[in-house]
Structure 1
Amino acid sequence: MLVLDADTAVVNPNHCIEEWIDDRVDLVFYERFFNWEIASGNYLVKNTEFARTFLRKWADWQYIQPSNWNGADNGVLQIHILQTVLPDAVEEIKACDAIWHKGTDYDTYMAYVTCVKVTLGANRLYPGKIRIHRRAHGWVRDGFLTGDNFCDNDFMLHGWKLQAIELEGWNSPFRKMFNVSECGTGYLGWNYRPGYKITPDEVRKRLAAFEASAGNTFPKNAQVFPYLTQPDVGNCYPKCDDLT
């Protein structure tokens, strides 16, 4: 099953969602480009016992999530994935949870996101469980990263939700509304505005520029290394490795 945010839409019909289905896992997520957060609004899920349990537990976080600036379902997803794929990392999970509970605004919330990312490390594939696509490599990416321009590699764009289209700096890439009767007959129904489709290399250059900017402007108080600020031995010695 494909779950989509209401502000996500297909911009390029030359892809199928099957390209992102991975038979090795039951759930597929991706990272948002601008802040490395695992996105909660768009994901793929297989109808299995593991996936159903994962979704139920994710939903049940509404009863126990902290009442501070917590990132809502996005915030919950970070630690829920961490607990699911690294259940033995007890002290590391406690460290990220402690940072999460201290969040007072977006910047301090991002310290928690950083903690989870550092703990997960470079691994993105957890067979039988979850896959997390690298930024800009999922079926969706935020449109504002490239001014809503797209290339052949793109499938869907996220963030199309301004109430007044063509005002406040946002234009639809399409010149007119879709005629459903034209769907499925080539490209007749895809009436793009001139110049909205660009080359993959131009998208790469824009993403590279945004990547550099995002790193340079990332909140200072979110640039945490959990092992320097939270205990990973002091609270559990000498039994820290008992679950490993």
Structure 2
Amino acid sequence: MKESSHLDYILFLDSDMGVVNPKRRIEEFLDENAEVIFYDRFYNWEVMAGSYLIKNSNWSRTFLQGFADYEFRLPKSFHGMDNGAIHAYLAEHALPHNHEIVPICMDIYNHSKGYDDLFLYEACIRTALGNSTLSGKIKILPKGTAWVRDNWMTNSKWNEERDFMIHNWKTTQLRTYSTLPIPYVFFTIF
């Protein structure tokens, strides 16, 4: 980033993300007041570590280096790699060191045995973090408002008005659809 001073922002993407709607632009999601912009995943309380917008600044480079170095601080438990690490790292940056909830969250993280524990830890950290703008430099976009979303939520279909990018595009995830319309099914709960 330092050698690319002509770039104002950098968009980080997991390798399984792609543009589905070229009518949208990433500039729609920029916030000049934020140094780094993350987003909440739609289906749980997870801050997505696999895509973020980052301003090309000294602060952002320091933030990213610290996040990368978190690899050496991961617990011996089921830690979720970068997805688990980003929550602890955000808590370190945005919350006071004596925050009462964070030690409880970290205990869950340090003893996590699977996804249920990991998601509980992430929800715990998100509760502690509260609103979607942290410490003036970090912004977390609310569910359903980001530039990308997981494909499985709509069986790989996308909406021309809403969607820009899709995550989890893997050959094993792609589906073929017939030209027949999906039939309407009527049922009552009571």
Return the TM-score normalized by structure 2: 0.83
CA gap 1:127/1:120 in 2 versus in 1, 3 angstroms? closer
C-alpha distance in 1, partners of 2:30/2:94? 19
Structure 1 residue 95: Cα displacement: 2.0
C-alpha distance in 1, partners of 2:176/2:51? 21
Q: Which has the larger radius of gyration?
A: 1
| Equivalent residue, structure 1, for 2:149 | 141
Give CA-to-partner distance per residue, 1:90-125, whole Å, 9 cap, x none.
33322211111010111111121111011112x101
**Contact 1:30–1:134 under 8 Å retained in 2:** yes
Return the TM-score normalized by structure 1: 0.65
Question: Match for 1:25 among 29, 34, 40?
Answer: 34
Question: Match for 2:163 among 154, 166, 172?
Answer: 154
**Contact 1:39–1:74 under 8 Å retained in 2:** yes
1:117 correspondence with 2:106: no
Gaps of 5+ in 2: 1-9, 181-190
Name the aligned partner's letter for residue 75 of structure 1. Answer: G
| Equivalent residue, structure 2, for 1:187 | none
SS in 2 for 1:91: coil
1:171 correspondence with 2:175: yes
C-alpha distance in 2, partners of 1:127/1:101? 25
| Equivalent residue, structure 1, for 2:106 | 97
C-alpha distance in 1, partners of 2:53/2:179? 32
| Equivalent residue, structure 1, for 2:184 | none
Identity %: 36
CA gap 1:58/1:22 in 2 versus in 1, 3 angstroms? same
C-alpha distance in 1, partners of 2:128/2:176? 39
Structure 1 residue 11: Cα displacement: 0.7
C-alpha distance in 1, partners of 2:92/2:135? 15
Gaps of 5+ in 1: 164-168, 174-192, 196-244
SS in 1 for 2:62: helix
SS in 2 for 1:90: coil
Structure 1 residue 19: Cα displacement: 0.3
